[in-house]
Structure 1
Amino acid sequence: MTGRVAVALDAGSASTRLALGGPGAPPVVESRPTPSGGYAVFLSKLLEAGRARAPGAIAGMTVTVPDAWLDGTPEGIRAYERLRRTVLDELGWPRVSWAGQAGCVAAEAMRTRPGEGPLLVCDLGARTVSAALCTMSGGTAMLEAVAVTERGRGGGLAFDTAVEAAVPAARTGDFAAMFAGVRARQGRRAAVVLPRAWTHPRYRDTPVYRIGEMDLTAGTLIDAFAGTAAALKDVVERVGGTAPATVAIAGRFGVFPLVGRFLTDLLDLTGPPLVLGPSAAVRGALRIAAGEIEVSPPERPSVALPLHRVRHGLLEVRDVPLDPSADFAVQDGLPVLIEVPAESPGPFHVQVDGRDVAVRLPALPPGPYRVGLRPSHACAGVLVLAPAGGGELRLHPLAETPTEPR
């Protein structure tokens, strides 16, 4: 592969995947376990490995962000901002666009099974379960709603923990790694037995996986899946899940046979869901980076920062839009700065859909701050305040309800 290539990055909590591709060539996908530290060096080496297989000038980069990082919680906000600072500041990667994981999975679903109408995306990762409702039209997917479970509620690790707790004899060594290997080797049997046992209880005692000298029965696995099934039902209902034209399943745990069986029963589907596998998000992000498919995020409130200045002896108020796709607010080509006084500052005001929102920030060191906005499917956005001279970022979700019309 030569010429110009598009690059996509999927920064998952368990695995990080990079995809590179150009016109008329199959994508190159590199996958590694996500490290606990040294992420900038890790990403540099991952990109180097990918470009060795797909050389050429980089035409554009799309980074897909886990939807759990866009939930407005402190943990999610910090994880998203760490990734942004790594990619933009430490690595200096050019022409980066950001996309939620659900939208990228939708792009891959549209490539795999083109169509029109509603599309339900279900992503089951190692630690979270999410769902998104989209509308497919031509080469565009419009996201209408996204829902994510609390971290640790459902997903691959929760299932592993439930199985291990149900079978005390299995607690030897690294059970999660051993169990993952068994599932990979014995997946064909599980695909036959588990859906049958789900529908017909008389098959619950049928052995499915063999770990050493021990059998894991269908009943044990079905019971361990109950928590993930409840989480999946919750997020599907929260996005208004009815019988869509297409159901797409992605994520590390999405390939587990009971996921498709459960969704088929829950939504009364006439055909099986589309199982895309754990690389669906990065492959879809590559389609977006290459301009093949367009994904529109859910409609969000408009957020603006009112700036006051004296002009020709008169007080002038200008609203500077806070764009979630930009790093920080800019006006007339210059960064927008807000000044925090030494004395205790009052509420910090923004406009949300033209209505005043008073944001009460925690104590801040005095001085000038750059201000930006990060997207969230749980609130109007997350304010980011960065000291102009460098230092720790301050993050604050816009969860307050607007009360005062302008």
Structure 2
Amino acid sequence: MTGWVAVALDVGSAMTRLALSGPGGAPVVASRPTPGTGLAVFLSKLLEAGRAKAPGAISGMTVTVPEAWLDGTAEGVRAYERLRRTVLEELGWPRVTWLGQAACVAAEALHRGPARRPDAGPVLVCDLGARTVGAALCDTGGRTLRVTSVAVAEGGGTAFDTAVAASYTGPPPAAGFSALFDGARTRHGRRAAVVLPRAWTHPRYREAPVYRIGDTDITAGTLITAFSSTAATLKDVVARALSGAAPPATIAVAGRFGVFPLVSRVLLDELSPPEPPLVLGPAAAVRGALRIASGGLSVAEPARPAVTLPLYRIKHGLMEVREVPLDPSADFAVQDGYPMLVEVTGTTAPFDVRVDGRDVTVRPPDLPPGPYRVGLRPSHARPGVLVLAPAAGGEPCHCPIDPPMDREAR
């Protein structure tokens, strides 16, 4: 008998990573570039390849969600919905738990860092991916993790690569600059780790070559200049995540671009932690998600406002109001055990939801008439994003919910 296998999935814009609890407790991690199309087939084959190394019945699956998808914008929730539809409907994977990446990285930091004891205190997670830079403050009291604040901005590895490519003055590489630049970083990683922090502090070292592509050297100064906008973004999201609080003793750095040597240098300069940041690498989120799925830690839902949808009907000649709760952990709202449907009869008029007992007007675009399922997707920047999905199938409509305003501010 092979036993039960926990599975964790992290679908990033550049790479997709799958982790399974392998024999003897050692995780099996598989990574592949994320395809532009055919995600369902791709994930199915990736899971098949992973289960060849970690056979057994799947006990459950944990899927990490980038914090950028939880920013409360329609674009973010559309990306979230595409993955949910792929996993739940196209693949039909059962028992799926959805977690934000920050909590998963914090779980990995507690396991691998010197602060692995249960009373380690808060962890500041800095996640630098291909397209975004994020920071999150995580409370790690006891065996439970809770994300208390999040800040995300555009930036990251792709912006840095573009800036370096624009400064390259050598002959055009036949294989393309990106491939050669990746190879140079792999070959000269140790040199970069020594030269770049020194050049960051002492400008006289900025002419020192770091990477060599063909016959052309890329100097420390060129790399520092290309990194400057990402450094500013990192400082900004960290300041917003801390929101005036003192920085915690433990700082965890994750993401594809988090391994760049100057990321830790910026955090050391800005926050002066007692220990250097833990550089966990691009697979930190999926490894942490697997630890959570295996029962080592649990994640508490962040404190969110209560969102309800008031439904009106005439009963015995009187107007009756019933407030149906919208739960961001559920796919769609239910009423008396059945999916709740809202009938759209023509041009969609604004309607109210209630946020912590206060009316907030939502203005969806014009929708085709018919019944719609109603759901709520989580957001760290607003009460949530309302989802109106045609009951007969089709693309859902996403409506960000604004925070309630004080009467004096209206």
In structure 2, what is the Cα distance between the partners aligned to 1:56 and 1:212? 48
TM-score (norm 2): 0.94
Change (3 A) 1:107 1:295: same
Name structure 2 gaps, 5 residues minimum: none
Letter aligned with residue 334 of structure 1: Y
Look up the SS of the partner of 1:253 in the other structure: helix
Letter aligned with residue 220 of structure 1: T
1:339 to 327, 338, 343: 343
Q: How does 1:184-203 map to 2 (within 5 A)?
A: 184-203=186-205
Kept after mapping to 2: 8 A contact 1:8/1:19: yes
In structure 1, what is the Cα distance between the partners aligned to 2:107 and 2:317? 53
Q: Which residue of 2 aligns with 1:70?
A: 70
Residue 351 of structure 2 corresponds to residue 348 of structure 1: yes
Look up the SS of the partner of 2:313 in the other structure: strand
Q: Which residue of 2 aligns with 1:371?
A: 374
Q: Which residue of 1 aligns with 2:160?
A: 159
Q: Which residue of 1 aligns with 2:323?
A: 319
In structure 2, what is the Cα distance between the partners aligned to 1:297 and 1:174? 45
TM-score (norm 1): 0.95
Kept after mapping to 2: 8 A contact 1:9/1:18: yes
In structure 2, what is the Cα distance between the partners aligned to 1:107 and 1:312? 55
Change (3 A) 1:297 1:202: farther
Q: Which residue of 2 aligns with 1:401?
A: 404
Q: Which residue of 2 aligns with 1:231?
A: 233
Q: Which residue of 1 aligns with 2:151?
A: 147
Letter aligned with residue 29 of structure 1: V
Q: Which residue of 2 aligns with 1:389?
A: 392
Kept after mapping to 2: 8 A contact 1:9/1:62: yes
Provide the identity percentage.
69
How many matched pairs?
A: 401
In structure 2, what is the Cα distance between the partners aligned to 1:196 and 1:402? 49
Q: How does 1:3-22 map to 2 (within 5 A)?
A: 3-21=3-21
Look up the SS of the partner of 2:304 in the other structure: coil
1:173-221: CA deviation from partner (whole Å, max 9, x where unpaired): 4212211111112111111111111111121111111111111111111
Kept after mapping to 1: 8 A contact 2:136/2:150: yes
Letter aligned with residue 268 of structure 1: S
1:346-366: CA deviation from partner (whole Å, max 9, x where unpaired): 322111111111111111111
Q: Which residue of 2 aligns with 1:48?
A: 48
Residue 74 of structure 1 deviates from its aligned partner by: 2.7
Aligned alpha-carbon RMSD (Å): 1.7
In structure 1, what is the Cα distance between the partners aligned to 2:376 and 2:23? 34
1:300-351: CA deviation from partner (whole Å, max 9, x where unpaired): 2111111223445543322111111110011221000111123x34322111
Residue 404 of structure 1 deviates from its aligned partner by: 7.1
Look up the SS of the partner of 2:25 in the other structure: coil
Q: Which residue of 2 aligns with 1:361?
A: 364
In structure 2, what is the Cα distance between the partners aligned to 1:16 and 1:158? 20
Residue 120 of structure 1 deviates from its aligned partner by: 0.4
Residue 212 of structure 2 corresponds to residue 210 of structure 1: yes
In structure 1, what is the Cα distance between the partners aligned to 2:291 and 2:71? 25
Letter aligned with residue 12 of structure 1: G
Change (3 A) 1:199 1:301: same
Residue 200 of structure 2 corresponds to residue 175 of structure 1: no
Answer with 71-80 or 310-319: which moved more: 310-319
Answer with 16-25 or 226-235: which moved more: 16-25
Name structure 1 gaps, 5 residues minimum: none
Residue 34 of structure 1 deviates from its aligned partner by: 0.2
In structure 1, what is the Cα distance between the partners aligned to 2:280 and 2:301? 21
Q: Which residue of 2 aligns with 1:79?
A: 79
Answer with 34-43 or 295-304: which moved more: 295-304
In structure 1, what is the Cα distance between the partners aligned to 2:319 and 2:404? 28
In structure 1, what is the Cα distance between the partners aligned to 2:355 and 2:23? 41
Q: Which residue of 1 aligns with 2:122?
A: 118
Look up the SS of the partner of 1:123 in the other structure: strand
Letter aligned with residue 26 of structure 1: A
Q: Which residue of 2 aligns with 1:309?
A: 313
Answer with 69-78 or 155-164: which moved more: 69-78
In structure 1, what is the Cα distance between the partners aligned to 2:352 and 2:341? 14
In structure 1, what is the Cα distance between the partners aligned to 2:407 and 2:314? 24
Answer with 29-38 or 136-145: which moved more: 136-145
Look up the SS of the partner of 1:362 in the other structure: coil
